Each structure stands twice: as structure tokens, then as C-alpha cells.
Amino acid sequence: MKKTILHKHHVSLGATMTEFAGYDMPLRYTSITEEHDFVRSKAGVFDVSHMGELYINGKEATAFVDYLFTNDVKSMNNKQVLYGMMCYPGGGVVDDLLVYKVNDESYILVVNASNIEKDFAWVVKNNKFDCVVSNESDLVSEIALQGPLAESILRTHTEYPLENLTFFTFDYMMIDGKEVLVSRTGYTGEDGFEIYGAAKDIETIFLALLLNRDDIAPCGLGARDTLRFEVALPLYGQELSKDITPLEAGLSFAVKLDAGDFIGKDALVKQKEDGLTRRIAGLEMIDKGILRHGYQVFDGDTLVGEITTGYKSPSTGETVALAMIDKPYDKLGTMLEVDIRGKRKKVKVRKKKFYSKHYKKEETK
């Protein structure tokens, strides 16, 4: 099992470790709820060094990334970040990812840890352009600093004017004497930063950040999942997969059907024209019980869906879930039932964003 540069520090901090994507990663340090609440109220730091980084460089890098990616790459500015998907020809998702544009001839694709090898093989297979693809995942480490106090905390570690780093942009800067790439992005629904660099440099920054334990806490994969779930951010393998299209997942904002000619576009155009037959919707528990991944959803004797992610929301106390629901049962307010260990429990279809995002999107004047 692989270990990140921060592994020994997770152990010394008393983390409960778990296997994820071939890595031994911290599930939690105290409790998932406590870490979740710390990110919502103050700030948390996550080890996300298991994520993958694929570099694309060359004269036709822009054309190639545009061909791979569902969002509008050709409209990107330098040092901008875009979210989107790579799709199979049939419209299913290879992976969802972030694209970082360094310049017209240089891009970084940040991909999910469980998909690194598959994604790299897919990118290489489809490279018919004048550019070079390299998998730099083992050379790049990453931490995420997330929460309403993220900017004020990071200010004490850098002279860079962080107020100029706007939502979904990135820049190179010195943090604690180390040159790193920092983006104003995250996977929690809160303001924050993702910091990429050499392993030893990320280790230095991680330890320096944790000197301020009044305002920041180390957080594990458990809180990362509950945080992203509350704001309806998808997890590959649950809300997205080779059998689930971006349109079915409700991610049409990241699919630009009128810009570019990416792999899978024709299938998605047809799906949009024909109309969706199912989509990811929100569910709210009416009876007592906990909703979990894989539970089946019924309307009477008719199977109409399956839960993709379910929790008791730490921020609201509500028992809620994301679920793939057949139409027309996905309409808001529709009463359905979930099979929980052989017993039917009542649920209601609701909006799938269970908690409001608190990103810093405004431009500094």
C-alpha cells in the first residue's frame, strides 16, 4: 500500500487510517462530525497527495485538452481552472477533473486518485496531437486548506496578496519559504486553497499550518466526503461513472455542447435532445433511519432508483441522500420509499443541495 509524505504525521496525530485508492490514508483524527464542523466554522487541512496530476505540454496542447474535456478550454485565460469531465464516446464518464491552464502550450489535469492509471492510459490513447503527456502524480504532493478562516490563516505564511487570487484561478507563490502552486478551489463548499508542490515542501507547509491549532484542524477522508456531499459535489463511482453521464448527474454547467468537439459530445447532444430518463436527485428521510449508498428506492412495487450517497447531514441534522431516480419520480415533493434492510421507509424528493456553498467569488476592486 502506498503512503504519502505526510503518513507518519497522520499516525503521530492519532489518525484512524484506512485504505483508499491504494493509499493508506487518514479516515479521521477525532471524529468525522468534529472535523466537518471545524471546516464549516474555522478551517481544516486535508492530505490529498493521493490525487493525480497529468501534464500536457506542446504546440497543440490546447486543441488536445479541448478534445478530451467537456468544458470550454479555448475560452480559458492563463492561470484559470475549469471543472469538467472526460467522457467515453457513449457519454459515460471516464473521470471528473480540474484543468489548470498554465499557458496555451501547458496544462495540468488533476484527476481522481482511484482513476490515475485509467485516466493516463485514456489520455495517451487519444493523443493524436503535437503535444506530450506525462504522469507526474508521484512527483507532486498536495494539501487542501478549507474553511472560512483559510485566507486569514494562509496570509500568515505568505507575502502573496491572496485577495487577488479569485475563485477558480491559481498562481505560483512562496509559502513558508517554499515555491508552490496554489489554486482557490476545493471540495468542501467553503472558501479555501489547494496547494501543490514537491513532497518535502508540502510536508513543511502542512506542519507549519498545524502550529495554529486554535483555528485549524487536520481532517480526514470521512469529513471530506460529508462536506462535499452536503453541497452536492459528485464522487466518481457514485454520482458519476462510465454508466452515468454528466447530464444525468446534473452537471450540464460543465458540459459546453456549443463549444468544441470533445469525445462523447454526439452522445450527450442526442441525450439532451431525446430528454433525460433519470437524474441525480435529493432525498429527505421522513421516517426514522439512515440512508446509505446502494439502497433501492421504490414507488409502490416499482423500483425507481438507487441511493448513491447518504448521510445524516452534520451541518443540518437532516437525514438526506443523493440518488439516481427515474423520471417522472424525480419531481420535487414526490413521496417514495427506500428499502432499508428489508423494511420500507418513507422519503421525499427535495433539492439536492443540502447546504449553501460559501465560496469567495467576488473580484477584488
User: Cα(87)–Cα(265) distance, rounded to whole angstroms?
Assistant: 8
User: Cα(341)–Cα(167) distance, rounded to whole angstroms?
Assistant: 43
Torsion on CA atoms 123, 125, 130, 135, rounded to nearest 10: 40
Residue 259 is predicted with a pLDDT of 84
Long-range (24+ apart) CB contacts under 8 A made by 269-277 are: 271/91, 271/245, 271/247, 272/247, 276/247, 276/248, 276/327, 277/326, 277/327
How far is C-alpha 61 from the chain's CA centre?
24
The domain made up of 7-49+140-230 has a fold known as Gyrase A; domain 2 (3.30.1360)
Residue 364 is predicted with a pLDDT of 34
Indicate the SS3 state at residue 28: strand
Q: What are the structural domain ranges in the chain?
A: 7-49+140-230, 53-136, 277-350
Residue 273 is predicted with a pLDDT of 98
Termini Cα distance of the chain: 48
Amino acid at 336: L
Residue 360 is predicted with a pLDDT of 81
User: Cα(143)–Cα(151) distance, rounded to whole angstroms?
Assistant: 14
Q: What is the CATH number of domain 277-350?
A: 2.40.30.110
User: Cα(133)–Cα(120) distance, rounded to whole angstroms?
Assistant: 8
DSSP result, 280-338: EEEEEE-SSS---TT-EEEETTEEEEEEEEEEE-TTT--EEEEEEEETTTTSTT-EEEE
Residue 192 is predicted with a pLDDT of 98
Cis peptide before 328 (omega within 30 of 0): yes
The domain made up of 53-136 has a fold known as Alpha-Beta Plaits (3.30.70)
Among 245, 252, 250, CA closest to 231: 250
Asked if residues 39 and 147 have their Cβ atoms less than 8 Å apart, the reply is yes
Residues contacting 284, CB < 8 A, separation 6+: 318, 319, 320, 347, 348, 349, 350
Amino acid at 83: Y
Query: Could you read off the pLDDT tens digit of each residue along the chain, which spans 365 residues?
Result: 999 999 999 999 999 999 999 999 999 999 999 999 999 999 999 999 999 999 999 999 999 999 999 999 999 999 999 999 999 999 999 999 999 999 999 999 999 999 999 999 999 999 999 999 999 999 999 999 999 999 999 999 999 999 999 999 999 999 999 999 999 999 999 999 999 999 999 999 999 999 989 999 999 999 999 999 999 999 999 999 999 999 999 999 999 999 889 999 999 999 999 999 999 999 999 999 999 999 999 999 999 999 999 999 999 999 999 999 999 999 999 999 999 999 999 999 999 999 999 998 754 32
Residue 260 is predicted with a pLDDT of 84
pTM of the model: 0.96
